[in-house]
Amino acid sequence: MFTPKYPPKDTAPPATATAPATHTPAPVQPSPAPVTPASNRPTVQLTPGSALALAAGGGAVVLVVGAVLVSMLLAVAITATSVAVCAVVLRSILNAERNH
Could you read off the pLDDT of 69-86 as tens digits, one per residue? 999 999 999 999 999 999
Residues in the chain: 100
Higher model confidence: residue 91 or residue 14? 91
pLDDT of residue 43: 77
5-36 CB burial, b ≥16 within 10 A, e <16: eeeeeeeeeeeeeeeeeeeeeeeeeeeeeeee
Question: How high is the pLDDT of residue 61?
Answer: 96
Higher pLDDT, 23 or 48: 48
Total-model pTM? 0.46
